[in-house]
Chains A and B, each alone.
Chain A
Amino acid sequence: DAGVIQSPRHEVTEMGQEVTLRCKPISGHDYLFWYRQTMMRGLELLIYFNNNVPIDDSGMPEDRFSAKMPNASFSTLKIQPSEPRDSAVYFCASTATGDLNIQYFGAGTRLSVL
Chain B
Amino acid sequence: RKEVEQDPGPFNVPEGATVAFNCTYSNSASQSFFWYRQDCRKEPKLLMSVYSSGNEDGRFTAQLNRASQYISLLIRDSKLSDSATYLCVVNTFPGGGNKLTFGTGTQLKVEL
Contact = CB atoms under 8 A, between A and B. Distances in A.
A56 B92 CA distance: 14
Interface in B69-102: 87, 91, 97-102
Contacts of B105: 42
Is the interface on chain A under 10, 10 to 19, 20 to 34, or 35 or more residues? 10 to 19
Given A101-B91, A102-B46, A105-B44, A43 B99 contact: no
Contacts of B45: 105
Given A43-B87, A101-B32, A101-B91, A108 B43 contact: yes
The secondary structure that dominates the A interface is strand
Contact of A45 (B44, B87, B100, B103): B100
A43 B98 contact: no
Contacts of B103: 42
A41 interface: yes
B25 interface: no
A110 to B, nearest CB: 8
B99 A48 contact: yes
Nearest to B31: A101
B100 A103 contact: yes
Interface string B5-43: 000000000000000000000000000101000000011
A105 B43 contact: yes
A50 B42 CA distance: 25
B55 interface: no
B99 A56 contact: yes
A51 B99 CA distance: 15
Interface of A: 31, 41-43, 45, 48, 50, 55-56, 91, 95, 100-103, 105-108
Interface of B: 32, 34, 42-46, 49, 87, 91, 97-105
